[in-house]
Structure 1
């Protein structure tokens, strides 16, 4: 992308506007995009990419002073991005609990908000993360799904897959967000843990942290 594509969580009635954003990688952030971020008062960037991706595509922050934290969303013992998307989404449901707890805790740090969450493209790892946060805030599934599917328009995927070169110079395809991918993750979490809230609490999130998240972000 030539500029920053931001999807702010502005439409869900349970979420306070202007505090949580998602985007693709910031390695091609332009000066104009940086000025847009500055106007948002952004303070924290949570980067869900693998270390190899971060090294190959470092963020271009221009003059922005941001707290940037890298929290790899996928296990680092294999190249899971070679797997089919449905399998990657199932893997996220099964393994990302500890990372998601850390995301919540980073958002609760003093002066952490407004915050932006991103991965490489901004729809898969980021989409799951934002979906979990929205569920914790009480947003209905249909609104969570609508926010997730907004990625297609923001990333130019409305007309189908887009090819790109990964950090190793290999040709890859970015596929459009599909409803069944995200609903599959949420269904899997709920089937195995009872609820998204129980999923996070089972991975160490404390009840008082959940309450603090809702106090900070819920309307």
Structure 2
């Protein structure tokens, strides 16, 4: 048995929330994050991860048995799924949904040529505009107790996953500092994400010519994003309501995911 999820004084550290998966390098439980009124996200309810295609049989068994995984929500584009696949775990869970999160060009940022003066903050704001319906659909799934436990992932588990998880946590009232810390926890895994395929970097690789900000998970970026949600949209709950997630569903979402 590989539990690997350690709680200290009732609160999980970033390290303690990491899932001990051999085939994923940026996977963790949201359990232990704290709301403004002192409640905590329940353990083993929602997980976030990078690509799942390299999970081995032990990883799959751990997710199903130790974590009670029932649902996978895949935020990648259909073309990515055709190219990279889904992995054996998808065939083992009760539910699988593909809800693509995209910006104006509908293409992964790390597969495009981008200007050196861009920012992930700008990209994240695009997700709010262009993928609101799909983001609301993800949150709506998590409001159904029959879908839990659920794992949300994209390719790196950083940008599309990062925005969806940030909105989820903000809607249920998790403190901004905890949301930001959870996002920034990916920083420790960036090197592993970039070398995950086991190939050496080549000077002519398009990905290697991209600016460093494309690969960063800086706390300031998420802080900007949350401030933008408040200033331009009236907060995550108001944004979610406008995106189609009614207040009753938001309350059910909090009930499913929070404990005293």
Decide: shared fold, TM above 0.5: yes
Query: Do residues 55 (structure 1) and 76 (structure 2) align?
Result: no
Deviations along 1:18-63, whole A, 9 cap, x unmatched?
A: 1000000111112221122112110000000111111111111256
- What is the correspondence of 1:195-210 to structure 2 with a 5 Å cutoff? 195-210=235-250
Q: Distance in 1 between matches of 2:106 and 2:44?
A: 36
Measured at CA, do residues 76 and 68 of structure 1 come closer, stay the same or move farther in structure 2, by a change above 3 Å? farther
Query: Do residues 72 (structure 1) and 100 (structure 2) align?
Result: yes
What's 1:8 paired with?
29
What's 2:194 paired with?
162
Q: Distance in 1 between matches of 2:103 and 2:194?
A: 25
Measured at CA, do residues 48 and 78 of structure 1 come closer, stay the same or move farther in structure 2, by a change above 3 Å? closer
Query: Do residues 42 (structure 1) and 69 (structure 2) align?
Result: yes
Aligned length: 212
Quote how far apart the aligned CAs of 1:127 are. Answer: 0.8
Deviations along 1:152-176, whole A, 9 cap, x unmatched?
A: 224446xxx93688xxxx6425613
Larger Rg: 2
Gaps of 5+ in 2: 1-20, 35-39, 198-204, 209-213
What's 1:24 paired with?
50
Q: Distance in 2 between matches of 1:213 and 1:86?
A: 26
Deviations along 1:121-167, whole A, 9 cap, x unmatched?
A: 0011101111111111211111111111111224446xxx93688xx
What's 2:183 paired with?
148
Gaps of 5+ in 1: none
Residue aligned with 1:68, SS: strand
Q: Distance in 2 between matches of 1:146 and 1:59?
A: 28
What's 1:88 paired with?
123
Moved more, 4-13 or 111-120: 4-13
Length-normalised TM-score, structure 1: 0.86
Q: Distance in 1 between matches of 2:42 and 2:150?
A: 13
Length-normalised TM-score, structure 2: 0.74
Q: Distance in 1 between matches of 2:134 and 2:70?
A: 20
Query: Do residues 137 (structure 1) and 172 (structure 2) align?
Result: yes
What's 2:143 paired with?
108
Quote how far apart the aligned CAs of 1:110 are. Answer: 5.0
What's 2:217 paired with?
177
Query: Do residues 118 (structure 1) and 139 (structure 2) align?
Result: no
Measured at CA, do residues 93 and 184 of structure 1 come closer, stay the same or move farther in structure 2, by a change above 3 Å? farther
RMSD after superposition: 2.4
